[in-house]
Chains A and B, each alone.
Chain A
Amino acid sequence: MRSDLAGLPHLLAAFGTAGALALGAVGVKAAGAPEWLAPVADAAPWQPGQAIPVLRTLTPRQGARVVEDERTGLVVQADPEPEPSAPAPTPAAAPGSPALPGEAPAALLEPLSAAALRLPSRAPAVATPLDDPADTGMAPFYQALHRGTGLARAAWWGDSTIAADGITGTVRARLQARFGYGGPGFVVAGLDPQWSARPDLKTTRSGTWETKSILLGGARGTYGFGGVVSTAPPEGSLTLRAPKGPGGSARPLHHAELWYQANAGSGGWWLRAGEGKDAAGSAAAEGRSDQRASLDVPEGYDRLTFGASGAPVAFYGVVMETAGPGVVLDALGVVGVGTRSFNYFGENHLAAQVAQRQPDLVVLMLGGNELGLPVLQKGTASGYDPLYTATLRKLRAGAPAAGCLVVTPLDQGTREGGTPTTKPALKRLVAAQARVARAEGCAFWSGFVAMGGEGSIVAWTRRKPPLAWTDLLHLSAAGQDLIGQALADAIELGFDDWVKSGGPARSPAPPVAPALGAEPGPAAVEPGVAPGPAAIEPAAAPTPPAPTEPAP
């Protein structure tokens, strides 16, 4: 070997070794790796059938572009880069396809149906109608909307997908624009970007509050209507100001409620909607009980302040409403929760809280933190059905006459194995929730389908501006708005169809929700439905949920 090439054998040996190992990985992958060799097979840099390395970089490429179906907004071809197993969703079967045993109705897993053609195009979101074949899921809510007096209330529980009030905020704004402004609704006292947020409200907090939620428990079964209980220190207070109306005009409230917990050692509570402390009382009691104080808001005021005095008081939240007619949508998202987080609620506590709130519609959007559950990893995931059913029934127990809507998680991706793809368990989870919705007489709306199905989260991260975060789990504010608009489209279309088909005559009109409260005076305190400590403190400690996939 010439002296100027002394390094060449070493170069050949090094790259030869690396190349041999890489080829070995390719061989293992091609031959079907045993489980213990899976990491090696996953690291194979190339597979038979793929374009030839190096040469593939010289083949002509399309420019970066997004091709969408004009009618449906469906992303047909999103990107010139390799799009991992993201086939364009195929046209769906006719709506109302019969459910097969152990499987979801085909129409619920795919984006198109006859009704979808009548929804506006919001590319890259896919027009997705509500599925409510028995006409039982949405009817009570539609009836309340159609009534024209009082408030139509929807209560929406969920995880981080709605904890920032993005999707729910858009749906609320859309429905209030059409049916009337009903106010911000129920707002948890423990508002915090780490748990749940309401960016439409201006908040000012004093003192250090201690918050517990159904994510980690620790409040002995009592978490209130929103799953978050927050204890104010002595002299701690929280001010909430309702959002302005169109053109910056103030939108006064008419009715306020303070939901709190009476207990031994608690201090006094106060609630102010006007200039002074309009209502006040003591939260001290021998046993634990849920309480509610209500107040007529003085004319023209759009803010509430409440707090503790003398000693700490545990607050669940406040209600901020108008006299109607209008719509209220309570956003009750808690970051990180799953179906089993609802096991933290003590027996009867949640039902009693829901009964007090009297929603016309119960909405549940969970599952995004549960994709690691073993029952979702294979087969039809039928083991998930009882979990979801139990949570749904727990919520509906307090409002059996209310409507019910199941909204599935959005598309979620993973980077395991190299290329970003949709989490394998997601489609099984969506199918399971579709089955439960049918079985429980709930309406169903697939957020997964509305995003465009498999691989859509990856495409959404690449949009300008980005519609999803690069954690492949969450949507950006623009993405949340898009999904909220798509769902509002579906609800409004469902309402219009229900009216046209004679729905108001079919369904009995529900009683008007007590927008101004049933209380006689300007301020009244009434005990919760569950009067005694036994109903509040469960005999046994609530079953803690099994570890779920960590949510950011």
Chain B
Amino acid sequence: MLFSTFDYFIFLPLVAVGHWLLGGKQARTALLLVASAIFYLAWNPVDSFILLWVGAVGFAASHLLGRLAPAAKVPTLWGVAALMLGPLFFYKYAHFAGENLAALVPGFTPWVPPKGHLPIGISFYSFQALAYVLDVHRGQAPEKSPVRYATFLCFFPHLVAGPILRSHTLLDQLGADRVLTRADVGHALWRLGVGLTKKLLVADVLSQGVVESVFIDPSAFTGLEVLTALYAYTLQMYADFSGYTDFAVGSSRLLGFQIPENFDRPYQATSVADYWRRWHQTLSNWVRDYVYYPLGGSRGSGLAPYRNTLVTLVILGVWHGANWTFVVYGILHGLAVSLNRWWKKRPNWRAPEGVFGIGWRWMLTLQFVVIARILFRADDLDHAGQIATALLSRWESITLPRWSMHAWAVLLLGYAAHLTPRSWALAVRDRFVALPAPVWGASLAALGLLCVRYGVGDSLTFIYYAF
């Protein structure tokens, strides 16, 4: 079930009202588990078995670890990780690995699983379940209730595309008394409205009005059109994924949960490292805590911190998919962060100040992020080459790119809104929250009408569902 559909806007209030009308914590938790199961089963019932497997292994392992001798814990942990990540590897990486192995070793023809269906949310829940086991290994008490554990893993607002939660964040709230205030409802509806706007009125419009046509046939467009399409894709990515997060945060709030944010106006970043602190924050934090720090982080001398940065960013890149484009994307970002780090380590370096000092760093960072999106969007390296070639071609006669006024308006207004100070958005939100409840509802209905009038029809799948 997609968040940005009419069905979800029936499903969510039904679950929320039912949840609050139930008396006890256990009953509420059970209802959330059932609702999450319905939400996930609506995608593909067969995939539920994979979720069940990953969850069961994680739960069993968390209880087993405490009973093992210290020497046996680490080998066991590796085994558990293999069992939990096995389905992810099989569905997401085995085809890629097999193909490349066959290409690298002459005469060697391993069995390669067919490339195709990726169970929805597998990257998110696999990482989340593994993180739970690692937290228990590091000293966190294992969750005793299988229902509460299952609800933590399957909680529908974040199940298929995050945010990736640290286990204690949700488990603690599941065990605590929750309240629903008027402000909670107002904040939740605001986030749902923002998510709807980002997804249906920005991301989908840019996708259908600009982006997809260009990336299907880059050679049919001028260099300026390809460049604007890259800007459009960059904005689409943000609107799509942060729109999902808005739905997740808003839905959780309606059920009495506070889950972490995933974005902080990433295209306002003034360095690539800053960008990764603002983009998909929960994944960045996950990789930082479970990969970068164990590798040594920024400690160590010589090239070690740079190596750690590069490895971490490549893993971040490959997390998105089994494709050389993501490997190169990770390397590119790793090199950029390393370069930034080296630059700042120079003895006489001082942080630039003033509008110009910050402005050119912002501009440089944004251009890097936009151009690197070629690799993020391309089907393969050949396709990336085609897009890059088209980007550098046909600049001899510069004319206005052939997008509709609607697409232009969305592109320009979208960037303008993204670049406003955060305090402005908070001020508008607070005004909305102060309105009477029927006005909230009427606003949502009016937004629905706008989405029908100015959207692109059936809502498109969220981009991050593919990861």
Contact = CB atoms under 8 A, between A and B. Distances in A.
B179 interface: yes
B360 interface: no
Interface stretch (B133-141, B213-221, B417-425): B213-221
B449 A16 contact: no
Interface of B: 1, 6-7, 9-11, 13-14, 16-17, 20-21, 38, 41-42, 177-186, 189, 207-209, 212-213, 216-217, 219-222, 254, 394, 396-397, 399, 402-404, 436-438, 440-442, 444-445, 448-449, 452-453, 455-458
Contact of B437 (A17, A53, A477): A17
A164 B220 contact: yes
For the complex of A and B, list the 5 residue pairs with the smallest distance between their C-beta atoms, beginning with the closest.
Answer: A17-B441, A469-B213, A13-B437, A21-B445, A7-B180
Contacts of B208: 415, 470-471
A382 B185 CA distance: 57
14 contacts: A7-B180, A7-B181, A7-B183, A8-B20, A10-B182, A11-B254, A14-B189, A15-B13, A16-B438, A17-B441, A193-B220, A415-B455, A470-B209, A471-B209
Contact of B185 (A14, A16, A469): A14
Contacts of A58: 38, 41-42
Contacts, number: 161
A455 B447 CA distance: 28
Contacts of B220: 164, 193, 477
A415 B406 CA distance: 13
Interface stretch (A41-49, A137-145, A366-374): A41-49
Contact of B180 (A8, A193, A418): A8
A81 interface: yes
A467 to B, nearest CB: 9
A250 B219 CA distance: 24
Contacts of A469: 212-213, 216-217
Contact of B449 (A40, A53, A417): A40
A42 B445 contact: no
Given A42-B453, A418-B452, A418-B458, 13 more contacts: A7-B182, A11-B185, A22-B448, A53-B10, A54-B1, A54-B14, A192-B397, A461-B212, A469-B217, A471-B208, A474-B213, A476-B217, A477-B220
A551 B177 CA distance: 59
A42 B448 CA distance: 11
Contacts of B9: 18
Contacts of A465: 216
A275 interface: no
B132 to A, nearest CB: 28
Contact of B457 (A3, A40, A420): A420
B402 A552 contact: yes
B39 to A, nearest CB: 9
A287 interface: no
A103 to B, nearest CB: 31
Contacts of B180: 4-8, 11
B212 A470 contact: yes
A410 to B, nearest CB: 15
Contacts of A16: 438, 441
A419 interface: yes
B449 A5 contact: no
B442 A18 contact: yes
A501 interface: no
A461 B254 CA distance: 37
Nearest to B393: A193
Contact of B11 (A11, A13, A54): A54
A296 B93 CA distance: 60
Given A10-B186, A58-B42, A4 B17 contact: no
Contacts of B397: 192, 194, 208
B439 to A, nearest CB: 8
A39 B438 CA distance: 22
A9 interface: yes
B1 A57 contact: yes
Contacts of B458: 81-82, 418-420
A102 interface: no
A3 B402 CA distance: 57
Nearest to A60: B45
A205 interface: yes
Interface string A35-70: 000011011011000000110111000000000000
Interface residues of A, number: 58
A9 B437 contact: yes
A14 B403 contact: no
B449 A7 contact: no
A82 to B, nearest CB: 7
A466 interface: yes
B213 A11 contact: no
B213 A471 contact: yes
Nearest to B207: A470
Given A45-B448, A469-B216, A4 B178 contact: yes
Contacts of B254: 11
A552 B213 CA distance: 12
B20 A5 contact: yes
B43 to A, nearest CB: 9
Interface string A8-34: 111111111111111001000000000
Contact of B453 (A4, A22, A43): A43
A281 interface: no
Contacts of A379: none
B438 A43 contact: no
A409 B354 CA distance: 56
B300 to A, nearest CB: 46
B216 A466 contact: yes
Contacts of B442: 17-18, 21
A469 B212 CA distance: 7
A335 B400 CA distance: 14
Nearest to A16: B441
Nearest to A550: B404
Contacts of B209: 470-471
A199 interface: yes
Given A4-B177, A199-B219, A10 B42 contact: no
Contacts of B1: 54, 57
Contacts of A194: 222, 397, 399, 402
Contacts of B441: 13-21
A18 B444 contact: yes
Interface in A70-112: 81-82
Interface string A458-472: 000100011001110
A466 B6 contact: no
Contacts of B213: 469-471, 474
Contacts of B177: 4
Contacts of A193: 220-222, 394
A552 B229 CA distance: 14
Q: Which residue of B14, B183, B457 has the most chain A CB atoms within 10 A of its CB atom?
A: B457
Q: Which residue of B16, B38, B396 has the most chain A CB atoms within 10 A of its CB atom?
A: B396
B396 A466 contact: no
Interface string A412-455: 00010111100000000000000000000000000000000000
A320 to B, nearest CB: 21
Contact of B445 (A18, A208, A419, A476): A18
A163 to B, nearest CB: 10
